[in-house]
Structure 1
Amino acid sequence: MCIYMAGVDVHSADVSAREQFAFSEEQVRQILTELVQKDGISGAVLLATCNRTELYLSVQERRSSAEDDAVSQPAMDISPAELLRQYAHAPEKPFTGRVLTEIDAVQHIMEVACGLHSQILHEEQIVTQVGHAVELARACRSTDGVLDTLFRTAVSAGKEAQTQVSVQNVPLSVSYSAVQQLEQHAGTLDGKTCLVIGNGSMGRLAASLLVQHGCRVFMTLRSYHHGETVIPFGVQPVPYEQRFLQMEAAEIVISATRSPHHTITKKQLEALSRKPVWILDLAMPRDVEADCGTVEGVTLWNLDDLHSSTAPDETALAALRQIAEQYTDTFQMWRNYRDAVPYMQQLKELTTQRILHSTAAEPYAELPQLEEIVRLVTERTVDMLMGSMKSEITPELVRQSCAKIKDRGRF
């Protein structure tokens, strides 16, 4: 199997380019289901968050000839980047994101899970997002053994990074960064009235942080059932349809929904008798029409406008990279051993036959069950040797061993 990754993230594309590749969960399910029905594709996982869309594929190999040393090629006639572009209905122009294969793709997902490629270094939500991506793929039956193990290993790497590495003076997530940046530009938040549009995980976290900073916070809900709908402590629910009425009383508005449509347009904003001073759009695709930023007296920020004002913690960076490399090696060791298993079976059979037809076996040729005994001993011996060399085993190494046994004369 070959591993491929094609994707865009906050470091390779701006928000307008990224939202072309933004998919709802329903769209992700449909894409994954369709992908594994294509010839050559054994597994697919789509990691879709507010700051990245990355497609991971496990692709079958086809040999260019029948020889053992033939070159293997991916059995897929279209590039992962082109697949991603087609599903996103993006314009036909050069793909500006990342396209990675094999060890580079493996290393990348480990680094992603450790928070090394996040907009906010080491942010805490990415591990959950990576885990959700593979869970969704399992539900769609689009994973295979390679991708399932790859993502399980990545989640383990991310969890170790979260528990073992502490990054100094860096916000923990996009929501933390948004509130931190608000405080830097708007002054104290204590006593300010805020409206949060959307009660997903990002919206709830932002609302909780605003409450902790002394804000009076309202949160929109499509429907509200007391005791059933989860809203943060200290936050007052308002019907989504009344958001503009509540917006006229708010100084700060944060929108973080999964809606494919704008929650605020320029026309709707201009119609308000009193407008908010700060609007933060934390959604992907964007909730707030970009032209809202041209309305007098209103400051509009989107995901690309959020950043940490502190320099990277080099010690933490080194520790995170070390964890990512360690788990990359762990996965590669598992994969090499797995891919070598067919050659190990061949090695066992070749060795068994060589012993049975050797001059050393001639005196015992009449013994009952000779072949059964030789086969059992050979298989156990090969298993023991391969197991003791697990970290060094590669498919090519075992294949070469088989070739050498074939070439040797009778002993």
Structure 2
Amino acid sequence: MAFLALGINHKTASVAVRERVAFTPEQLVEALQQLCTLTSSREAAILSTCNRSELYIEQDLLEVEQVLRWLADYHQLSLDELRACAYVHQDDGAVRHMMRVASGLDSMVLGEPQIFGQLKSAYAVAREAGTIGPLLGRLFQATFSTAKQVRTDTAIGENPVSVAFAAVSLAKQIFSDLHRSQALLIGAGETISLVARHLHDQGVKRIVVANRTLERASQLAEQFGAHAVLLSEIPNELVNSDIVISSTASQLPILGKGAVERALKLRKHKPIFMVDIAVPRDIEPEVGELDDIYLYSVDDLHEVIEENLKSRQGAAQLAEDLVLVGAEEFMLRLRELAAVDVLKSYRQQAERLRDDELAKAQRLLANGSAAEEVLLQLARGLTNKLLHAPSVQLKKMSAAGRLDALAMAQELFALNEGADKNSQ
């Protein structure tokens, strides 16, 4: 049994690399099944967000290179390119890493809560794919429990600090009065929902939500008195939009340079503030070359986020301590479960020996043998059979100089305790 956490994130890879390693929701089930078929992974889950793509794996033996090669092949990257930005955590290190991720301690925004829901979704998809087994299943449950404790017992998530909040904070720096601005939000997922909430709280009255499906856009728009449109209507909405924030799961850019140029002409070059939170990117990078366009990517938000993190730093150490305790407790329970399996096998073996000796005793009694003699023979036979295998193994270990095994046997059978009692 070995746990492995392998991936890339915002600390190790640029957004250009992260978007190439990202998994779309439609790819996940197939990718998980392929991962378990083409590698020695027995159980697996994949977490893929705008800031990270990570594999959580349980294997008999650690096969890091094999998994790296699969990930590189799947996304058509060179192995050297992937190895340059990938990180690997093993066993208890993998457990701690997963718990840190769930608690928001490894996020670009310290303590951000969205990652917890994203990890739950990763678990649900892996269950659907049939790649979650008893060991990884236990790890996920322990991770969720630890992350909940971090949220409950620390102040790490109290202040509204997130990528969405950072985007709105940056808009406030560019537009002195957000009340007069119109915002165009592209997408209708959790991040855009948070953006809409922050914009609404800042007094933005005119919000347009553009999405691939009008129903999903309408559901979000209703919450904030916004207007819902399809993605095809974005060029028309750009003309009146001062703020554009996009976060979809599209594999191709949604907003190109030509559409933005046309909108700027109709706006008489009134500036537009744009934030592309998506990975892969929704807005062509060339859009940022246009005059009167202020285009920011996820990575550009880092400085804004740093300013908003100070209130959470004090809670981070306590959260780290809770993660450490959670990881240690999980590994302890896992080792105890391993002992349970050994004890179960040993008990089954002992019960077979008992039944054999009992059957012999019953036959002797049926043939008229004296009960006292039968009981003595039963006790002697059972004792000899129970001690036979341990005796043979201990002699072999002693002959091989395995003094550590002999000392362990003393402890296992509590022989020192028996000697102490006899001396009293």
Q: TM-score range by the shorter chain?
A: 0.7 to 0.9
Letter in 2 for 1:319: L
Q: C-alpha distance in 1, partners of 2:146/2:44?
A: 20
Is structure 2 residue 284 aligned with structure 1 residue 284? no
Deviations 1:106-160 (A, max 9, x none): 1100111111100110001111111111111001101111111111111111122
Q: C-alpha distance in 1, partners of 2:148/2:238?
A: 39
Q: C-alpha distance in 2, partners of 1:270/1:147?
A: 50
Is structure 2 residue 255 aligned with structure 1 residue 247? no
Aligned-partner SS, 1:209? helix
Letter in 1 for 2:243: I
Of 224, 243, 265, which residue of structure 1 is paired with 2:256? 265
Structure 2 residue ranges without an equivalent (≥5): 358-370, 387-403, 416-424
Question: For structure 1, which segment, 89-98 or 132-141, has the greater mean C-alpha deviation from structure 2 after superposition?
Answer: 89-98
TM-score (norm 2): 0.78
Q: Partner residue of 2:342?
A: 343
Q: Partner residue of 2:228?
A: 237
Describe the shift of the 1:39–1:214 C-alpha distance in structure 2 as closer, same or farther (beyond 3 A).
closer
Q: Partner residue of 2:209?
A: 219
Superposed displacement of residue 172, structure 1 = 3.3
Q: Partner residue of 1:90?
A: 77
Alignment of structure 1 residues 95-106 onto 2, 5 Å: 95=83, 96-106=85-95
Of 370, 375, 378, which residue of structure 2 is paired with 1:367? 375
Q: Partner residue of 1:48?
A: 48
Question: For structure 1, which segment, 293-302 or 93-102, has the greater mean C-alpha deviation from structure 2 after superposition?
Answer: 93-102
Structure 1 residue ranges without an equivalent (≥5): 62-73, 358-362, 379-395
Q: Partner residue of 1:33?
A: 33
Describe the shift of the 1:10–1:225 C-alpha distance in structure 2 as closer, same or farther (beyond 3 A).
closer
Q: Partner residue of 1:202?
A: 191
- Percent identical: 27
Q: C-alpha distance in 1, partners of 2:71/2:210?
A: 33
Is structure 2 residue 20 aligned with structure 1 residue 20? yes
TM-score (norm 1): 0.80
Q: Partner residue of 1:328?
A: 327
Alignment of structure 1 residues 287-302 onto 2, 5 Å: 287-302=282-297
Q: C-alpha distance in 1, partners of 2:235/2:244?
A: 11
Superposed displacement of residue 277, structure 1 = 1.7
Of 301, 308, 326, which residue of structure 2 is paired with 1:306? 301
Q: C-alpha distance in 2, partners of 1:115/1:314?
A: 12
Q: Partner residue of 1:390?
A: none
Q: C-alpha distance in 2, partners of 1:81/1:223?
A: 36
Is structure 2 residue 128 aligned with structure 1 residue 139? yes
Q: Partner residue of 2:4?
A: 4
Alignment of structure 1 residues 174-189 onto 2, 5 Å: 174-189=163-178
Describe the shift of the 1:342–1:226 C-alpha distance in structure 2 as closer, same or farther (beyond 3 A).
closer
Q: C-alpha distance in 2, partners of 1:369/1:122?
A: 68
Letter in 1 for 2:273: W
1:47·1:133 contact (CA, 8 Å) conserved in 2?
yes
Larger radius of gyration: 2
Aligned-partner SS, 2:180? coil
1:169·1:310 contact (CA, 8 Å) conserved in 2?
no
Superposed displacement of residue 303, structure 1 = 0.6
Of 164, 179, 191, which residue of structure 1 is paired with 2:153? 164
Q: In the comparison of the two structures, how many residue pairs are matched?
A: 368
Describe the shift of the 1:345–1:271 C-alpha distance in structure 2 as closer, same or farther (beyond 3 A).
same
Superposed displacement of residue 92, structure 1 = 3.5
Describe the shift of the 1:251–1:365 C-alpha distance in structure 2 as closer, same or farther (beyond 3 A).
farther
Aligned-partner SS, 1:26? coil
Aligned-partner SS, 1:32? helix
Q: C-alpha distance in 1, partners of 2:25/2:410?
A: 47
